[in-house]
Structure 1
């Protein structure tokens, strides 16, 4: 069996295992943690999109929350029924063209992805002529501009009041089903010639340009794809929460996603998936620290914000001991697992073999002439 065939079988087995987990997650986790499981799938999509831009291409974008807002509002406007639109837009009537729009959820997700990608393309044309910190500041500014515009377009987004009664169509099959599709898409993209061009730009732009890679066009394509994935994740988030407002999509949301990809490893698909799940569940699991609790017979009053302090300390420890994140630039493949966990076994076997070889080495015998010479000296 070739390595390609083995990898294909393992990929099919992993997808089948994921489908089984999705089918039995609700009775096993319970209602609350099942919701966190759905939310973690959305964060996987968002993290993969930002990792494509920051991790694989080497850009520094901080405008992810703005593209999430575009996707979320697109899905909300397209799926809201007419009576819900009337209830939302009580201060100022909704735009008649938007009021007449009502599409199925899957059509709204496609429109959300396309709208976020188009806006990213318009922003990328001027912004990607910048580099490093200047690019980060520019994308952060564009993200805030999107949020402010949504806060003041009363007849389109209902302004600062936000939108409620959005149909909650995002199920575990939508969340993790789309996440699995995005994982497969990212694996194929990174393994293609385009993915190798992205890595070449990340490592050395001068050398990549000397090899004939069009830096500007490749960067724009990467930025558009990653931002379109952010719009897709934002649309799923709107369908999960059922209500949105512009304050949700401030720059702190982008930093949460940056935290995921840094913890998982810049340039690692597996790292983004693992970190998205760990952070989503970990943030909620540590929530008990904010409330009062009893330990060793003593009741300790809750300290608001203690959860974030402990979580930040844990993340700091991870960053100190794993400077490139949990996975670095590696992927969770059989080769990586055997290299990672089989190293100690190989070292132990090698040490034992060396010890046996030394023990079995015969001691050289001395000749009769050498013995007679030692006797004469004595």
Structure 2
């Protein structure tokens, strides 16, 4: 069987979603046709709605083994149960039965919830790539905008590509994700396409939208497995033993390590507009991270510094002076705007010579400052953020 493309998969998801919408409408119709009180009767419209729902149900695939089930009562059966319950005068049983008539709608809500979560998994990589492309386009277009008047038009090629990625992201989101903050405003600014609109997109619309997209995309509400039923039992067992502080970095892939560092800066107060920087010519195929570090000064106001974070998931080797020199050279790829701080985050360590070179750089009268985040530093940061340790399974 030929491997399906993303387009093929989206087409299947769209068909399933259309069936879900049909079933939701049919279940609403079925519930509205159920008589109130005890009424022995037949209703062809009710029966046809039930048959139509059953026919659609045959085309609803399971989700992780969970199969949608819709069971409808015959109208005479409903009347008989109501009659029997009225005779025994059990209000609680009557209420329970009336609630059971809405069980198909509850089943559908469960299916839609699972469906939306699966769809987000499907589009995750494509949406990540589209976000990266918008970031790249904004950076690449900024120098041309600097020379323009506010009412001048954005360069046609850049504007067309921005509009394309905006539509692509909208298509990928479908109805499984809420529209991100300022999404409509960004669409309006791209429609007008002037230099002043670009400023709004770059500084207001896109940072807000991107933050919302990341939160929706990466399972903020997804559960983390827990192996205890009652915390009282855990405490009663009086657990003891050594407390390991070293994290199991080997559990992470290079991409997961980058994602961990991104999550670290994305959730931290004082850090704004985190983004991926894709450089296909990078020897290790890795991606740098960019973020604005904001410091509040009581006299001067807010001071902003552009920070580039290089992620090196190296378990077998340490960062050397040669590596540091190469990373410094790569900072030119991300200017303008100017890079103020280069942070090297690694799951390994720095050689003594590399530490000396970085300390010498810090003493020199140069704009670029270099910070080291070795494994020991990351472990201290994460110790104060246990949720991230659990999220990435580092114990």
Tell whether the structures are fold-level matches, with TM greater than 0.5: no
Normalising by structure 2, we get a TM-score of 0.28
Structure with the higher helix share, 1 or 2: 1
Normalising by structure 1, we get a TM-score of 0.29
